[in-house]
Amino acid sequence: MNVLVVGGGGREHALCWGLSASPLVDTLFCAPGNAGIALDATCVPIAAEDTAGLIAFCKQNKVEFVVVGPEGPLAAGLVDQLEAAGIAAFGPSAAAAQLEASKSFTKELCARHNIPTAAFGRFRDFGAAKAYLAKVALPIVVKADGLAAGKGVRICETRAEAEEACAEMLAGSLGAAGAELVIEEFLRGEEASFFALVHGDQVLPLASAQDHKRVGDGDTGPNTGGMGTYSPAPVMTAALEKRVLDEIIVPTARAMAAEGRPYTGVLFAGLMIDNGAPKLLEYNVRFGDPETQVIVPRLKSDLLTLLQAARNGVLHKVNARWHDDTALCVVMAAKGYPGTVQKGSVIGGVEDAGKMPGVTVFHAGTARDGDALKASGGRVLNVVALGKTAAEAQQRAYAAVQKIDWPEGFYRHDIGWRAIQRTNA
Ligand code: AMP
Ligand code: GLY
């Protein structure tokens, strides 16, 4: 079967790498892809937002299954439109993608179905938000309702700061995404992510992961899309995983089905774990980036079979089998990220890094220019290593990072610290 992956980041490279190993795949396409994806798939220059272009391409090239990577096209209804054109697609409908596209939608759903999450209020008006802020405990979290590419959450230490965040967002600093706000109780604890495949009320648990959101070592500096990950997350014991499924993911799948927005695809739960009890921070309606880069290499089962089972509603007929190893990913980003970065710097040594034992390098913002590999974005490379322990995976990943010659890039030096501390404790 011909398969198309939509997107062009590290997540999509990991998906293409996994799908290219499937005996069921004849030709694998990726739109638009990147320089690394081009080694595993045929890249086609169609933007992820170009719905008509993608549908025409699928028809011309007998694409029978589409895997959509990013949230933007999902929220805009790409899966609905592909399916209406007779092309099977993995991912939620626009109606179900509201779980990521509207934080108020998700908070209200949690409230209706007793799904544990932070206490909250919803506001469209500054005066009402200010009156609410006068009564809450600090710190307090101000969130734009809509999709804001990771910039929509402000953790505020003072009331003045929270009022300013509300005023800015309501005045349009994040465009339409900030026309409505969620003001939310600050949760303490340890963050972790959990992924499950869902079709209606069928749920197949996949795996846990932990991200490193801050740009700097020791979890300092501004938030980013993610500077490194590992999977599994040691904080996520079997007992906790069961609670996350029973109290959060299964009730959400049932609620969405019961309310006429059945969910299909991968559900990515961002969780706060406090004293062994999980609460939902947010849902994403897609695979994580860079979480996928540490989940796919651990998967023993055929990736295409699992994604098709989610689309076709036969999740009870498949199993997800995993390698026991821990996978750890170090993100290499262009200097200046998450602010503005210079594009076009030359990167060497990626092939040598990829030949190290247990190591795979997934590309994010890269482009080929003749023989040279050049940076073309903020997050540029994902150096992933498998190891028997988090410590071994970390040692291997950083040994591979040393092979990469890219003076204009940087990375965190402490990815995995929490996992290693917990396993050593
Ligand atoms: P979100 O995009 O909603 O996951 O928020 C981005 C980040 O902000 C999360 O990964 C957390 O680190 C932090 N965050 C969001 N909501 C809360 C909360 N209620 N309490 C504490 N931290 C939060
Ligand atoms: N790494 C977080 C995300 O994909 O949203």
Cβ neighbours of residue 291 closer than 8 Å, sequence gap 6 or more: 11, 193, 195, 209, 211, 226, 229, 231, 268
Name the average pLDDT for the chain: 97
Residue-by-residue DSSP string for 21-63: T-TT-S-EEEEE--TTGGGTSEE----TT-HHHHHHHHHHTTE
pLDDT for 150: 80
What the block records as the tokens of 308 is 């098709």
Q: Which CATH class is domain 125-179?
A: alpha beta
Question: Per-residue pLDDT for 424 more than 80?
Answer: no
pLDDT for 151: 85
What residue ranges do the domains of the chain occupy? Answer: 2-91, 125-179, 190-317, 326-424
Instruction: Give 23 Cα–ligand 1 centroid separation in angstroms.
Output: 40
Atom of ligand 1 nearest to the CA of 185: 19
- Which one of the ligands is nearest to 192 CA? 1
From the candidate CATH numbers 1.10.3720.10, 3.90.930.12, 3.40.50.20, 1.10.10.10, the one assigned to the domain spanning 2-91: 3.40.50.20
Q: Which amino acid is at 326?
A: T
d(CA 73, CA 91): 10
User: How confident is the model over 168-172, as a mean pLDDT?
Assistant: 96
Q: What angle do CA 177, 148, 136 make, to 5 degrees?
A: 75
Instruction: Give 416 Cα–ligand 1 centroid separation in angstroms.
Output: 20
Q: What angle do CA 403, 365, 39 make, to 5 degrees?
A: 70
Instruction: Give 153 Cα–ligand 1 centroid separation in angstroms.
Output: 7
**In this predicted model, what pLDDT tens digit does every residue of 16-46 receive, in sequence order?**
999 999 999 999 999 999 999 999 999 999 9
Is residue 384 classed as helix, strand or coil in its secondary structure? Answer: strand
pLDDT for 149: 86
**In this predicted model, what pLDDT tens digit does every residue of 344-376 receive, in sequence order?**
999 999 999 999 999 999 999 999 999 999 999
User: How confident is the model over 133-150, as a mean pLDDT?
Assistant: 95
The response to whether residue 281 sits with its C-beta less than 6 Å from ligand 1 reads yes
pLDDT for 425: 66
Task: Pick the residue whose CA is nearest to atom 16 on ligand 1.
Answer: 281
- Chain-centre distance of CA 204, in angstroms? 18
Question: Predicted confidence band at 416 (pLDDT cuts at 50, 70, 90)?
Answer: very high
Report whether 82 contacts 22 (CB < 8 A). no
Burial 251-268 (b: 16+ CB within 10 A, else e): bbbbbbbeeebbbbbbbb
The domain at 326-424 falls in which architecture? Alpha-Beta Complex (3.90)
Strand bridging mode 366-369 / 326-334? unpaired
Phi, psi (rounded to 5 degrees) for 234: -55, -25
Q: Where are the alpha helices (DSSP H) in 77-146?
A: 78-84, 98-101, 103-112, 126-133
Question: Per-residue pLDDT for 422 more than 90?
Answer: no
> Rounded to a whole number, what is the distance in angstroms from the first to the last CA of the chain?
48
What the block records as the tokens of 372 is 């040279």
Residue found under tokens 């439109």: 81
Percent with pLDDT over 90 in the chain: 98
- Which one of the ligands is nearest to 120 CA? 1
Instruction: List, in sequence order, every residue forming a beta bridge with 362; answer none if it has no partner.
Output: 382
Query: Which of 312, 309, 310, 315 is closest to 286 using CA atoms?
Result: 310
Task: Pick the residue whose CA is nearest to atom 6 on ligand 1.
Answer: 153
Percent with pLDDT over 70 in the chain: 100
Task: Pick the residue whose CA is nearest to atom 15 on ligand 1.
Answer: 281
- CATH 3.30.470.20 is the classification of domain 190-317: yes
- Tell me the helix, strand and coil percentages in the chain, rounded to 5: 35, 30, 35
**In this predicted model, what pLDDT tens digit does every residue of 252-303 receive, in sequence order?**
999 999 999 999 999 999 999 999 999 999 999 999 999 999 999 999 999 9
Report whether the peptide linkage leading into residue 139 is cis, meaning its omega lies within 30 degrees of zero: yes
User: How confident is the model over 235-261, as a mean pLDDT?
Assistant: 97
Query: Which of 141, 224, 274, when mutated, tests ligand 1's pocket best, judged by the most ligand atoms within 8 Å of its CB?
Result: 141
Instruction: Give 212 Cα–ligand 2 centroid separation in angstroms.
Output: 10
344: left (phi over 0), alpha (psi -120 to 50) or beta: left
d(CA 227, CA 412): 7
Q: Which amino acid is at 2?
A: N
Instruction: Give 367 Cα–ligand 1 centroid separation in angstroms.
Output: 32
- Which one of the ligands is nearest to 183 CA? 1
Instruction: Give 299 Cα–ligand 2 centroid separation in angstroms.
Output: 19
Query: Which of 329, 315, 291 is closest to 194 using CA atoms?
Result: 291
Residues with CB under 6 A from ligand 2: 211, 225-226, 284, 288-289, 291
Atom of ligand 1 nearest to the CA of 281: 16
The widest CA-to-CA distance across the chain, in whole angstroms, is: 61
The response to whether residue 267 sits with its C-beta less than 6 Å from ligand 1 reads no
Q: Which amino acid is at 425?
A: A
The response to whether residue 75 sits with its C-beta less than 6 Å from ligand 1 reads no
Task: Pick the residue whose CA is nearest to atom 5 on ligand 2.
Answer: 288
d(CA 384, CA 381): 10
The response to whether residue 318 sits with its C-beta less than 6 Å from ligand 1 reads no
pLDDT for 405: 98
CA distances from 315 to 125, 204, 241, 244 (A): 44, 6, 18, 19
Question: Per-residue pLDDT for 304 more than 80?
Answer: yes
The pTM assigned to this predicted structure is 0.97
Question: Per-residue pLDDT for 107 more than 80?
Answer: yes
